[in-house]
Structure 1
Amino acid sequence: MLRIGICDDEKIIQDELKDMVSHIVFQYGEVEFSTFSSGKDVVKAVEEKTFTCDLLLLDIHMPERDGIETAKYIRMHQVDVDIIFVTVSKEHVFDGYTYQAFSYLLKPIQYPRLEDELGRYIYERSKNSRCLHVNINGRKEKLLLDKVKYFEADTRKVIAHLLHGEVTFYAKLSDLQKVLESYDFLRCHQSYLVNTMFISGYSRTEISLEDITIPISRKYTESVRLQLDARKDGEYGELGK
């Protein structure tokens, strides 16, 4: 299921976008909509942990909290959602790059243009076949593995730390390890399973993932060395340095 959020302070625009998007994505499968009348509503949903959108169509010119401020909040808080800016002006087009927007659409929205961008988005999303099906709050969801930096064991649950945000579900890390053996995930500790594509460096005692370090326990030192040394020489550095 694709979950799409529409944030615009004009109800008529919300309805128009929802109608067009419904027609466009119908061929790709089920879609669930969430609507927001301001960036303030989006932030509130994030803070209350009720924000579940995969894609957010975000107006820029809104009262209280505009789209740029909202996008900034989303990225600062690592919310895992793609953004398409929808606005009346080109003046903020470079903010699209700053806040990693998937696209930037001008109002009034032209159906063919929206169709092209949504088709491109769904293609980019679906071509990634690396995924894990998990139960989250009683619902079966697809977790894109290329967005998972690492999994962390938390009692009877597992926390998936994503590029933007995190997801928690019931599982055993040992079971995940078996499932993900062929997907370049590395067990380095009783509590951690790491996506090797995000490793920026490592030593005998820890692995670096951009802005965080993950410990390597003594039990896994040798297996970590063998797996990482088997990869491209010099990609991470040498274990033990």
Structure 2
Amino acid sequence: MKIAVCDDNILFQEEIKNLLYEYFGRLSVEIKLFSNGMEFLRAVQSISNPFDLVFMDIEMPGIDGLETSRQLRKKNRDLFLIFLSSHTELAFDGYEVDAFRFLTKPVKRDKLWKALSDWEKSRLSEERICFNLGDRSQVLSWSEIQYIQSENVYVNVVTVSQRILVRMKMKELEKKMPESMFFKPHRSYLVNLKHILSFDSKKIRMADGLEVPLSRRHAAEFRNRMMKFLNR
């Protein structure tokens, strides 16, 4: 994922960059640093893939963070913005540009962690996929999919309200889905951690009652992933 930090304080840039690496891991996130609004807007125009999340300092010389965000919103209404400022009274300015969160400086580690966790939940719940079913297409959000079962060149996609059969290989679908939401406990299944009702060392029980086998070599990894998911 791509994250931008737009702040005129170089020391703060490095501080929040290190905190983001600590939270996500260096290999799973690309962080770009910008010192003013104009520099950031020029970069956005030249980048083909937009940022997933932007940390925006409200008070900057030249174009401040609020005006930078106004211009950004003209091109991207869906981008997640987190405003930064040492003045709490400026938090209300974020409503104008639909900021996701406001963090006061200096940023506290637990407050940042909470904001990132909430952002991940919002981001994952909004992501969608379109399945081609031949004569029609079916659009689903990842969050409503309970589990996926492989059947040779087909997959059964099971949601809370329906089951659809899609001509697609499991590996192809696995590349598209949000990694932190799904787990592969067995070569024939992908389960949504959100829809797990109970589990032990040998099986996982889904919300609809299905018991999915949990292979011994994946048991420890599954427990760690499940605990991390529940404690977000």
TM-score tier after normalising by the smaller chain length: 0.5 to 0.7
Residue of structure 2 equivalent to 1:11: 10
**Counterparts of 1:179 and 1:17 in 2: how far apart (Å)?**
49
Compute the displacement of 1:45 (Å): 1.3
Residue of structure 1 equivalent to 2:85: 87
Residue of structure 1 equivalent to 2:139: 183
Counterpart code for 2:33: T
Percent sequence identity over matched residues? 30
Residue of structure 2 equivalent to 1:230: none
Q: Is the 8 Å Cα contact of residues 54 and 80 (structure 1) preserved in structure 2?
A: no
**Counterparts of 2:93 and 2:134 in 1: how far apart (Å)?**
42
Residue of structure 2 equivalent to 1:127: 125
Residue of structure 2 equivalent to 1:209: none
**Counterparts of 2:120 and 2:135 in 1: how far apart (Å)?**
26
Counterpart code for 1:130: R
**Counterparts of 1:70 and 1:111 in 2: how far apart (Å)?**
26
Moved more, 111-120 or 17-26: 17-26
Residue of structure 2 equivalent to 1:23: 22
What's the TM-score once normalised by structure 1's chain length?
0.52
Aligned pair partner of 1:56 in 54, 57, 68: 54
**Counterparts of 2:116 and 2:133 in 1: how far apart (Å)?**
34
Over 3 Å counting, the alpha-carbon distance change for 1:50 and 1:44 in structure 2 is farther
Residue of structure 1 equivalent to 2:102: 104
**Counterparts of 2:136 and 2:22 in 1: how far apart (Å)?**
36
Counterpart code for 1:181: S
Counterpart code for 1:20: L
Residue of structure 1 equivalent to 2:34: 36
Q: Secondary structure at the match of 2:25?
A: helix
How big is each residue's C-alpha offset from its partner over 1:151-183, in whole Å with a ceiling of 9 and x where there is no partner? xxxxxxxxxxxxxxxxxxxxxxxx979597111
**Count of residue pairs the alignment pairs up:** 140
Counterpart code for 1:87: S
Q: Is the 8 Å Cα contact of residues 42 and 51 (structure 1) preserved in structure 2?
A: no
What's the TM-score once normalised by structure 2's chain length?
0.54
Aligned pair partner of 2:43 in 42, 45, 52: 45
Q: Secondary structure at the match of 2:88?
A: coil
Q: Is the 8 Å Cα contact of residues 34 and 53 (structure 1) preserved in structure 2?
A: no
Compute the displacement of 1:51 (Å): 6.4
Compute the displacement of 1:6 (Å): 0.4
Regions of 4+ moved over 3 Å: 175-180
Counterpart code for 1:26: G
**Counterparts of 2:120 and 2:94 in 1: how far apart (Å)?**
19
Q: Secondary structure at the match of 1:92?
A: helix
How big is each residue's C-alpha offset from its partner over 1:51-101, in whole Å with a ceiling of 9 and x where there is no partner? 621100000111111100011111123364210001111222112111111
**Counterparts of 1:178 and 1:69 in 2: how far apart (Å)?**
46
Compute the displacement of 1:127 (Å): 2.8
Q: Cα RMSD over matched residues?
A: 2.6
Q: Tell whether 2:68 aligns with 1:70.
A: yes
Residue of structure 2 equivalent to 1:190: none
Return 5+ residue gaps in structure 1 as ranges.
133-174, 185-241
**Counterparts of 1:103 and 1:38 in 2: how far apart (Å)?**
20
Alignment of 1:203-222 (within 5 A): none
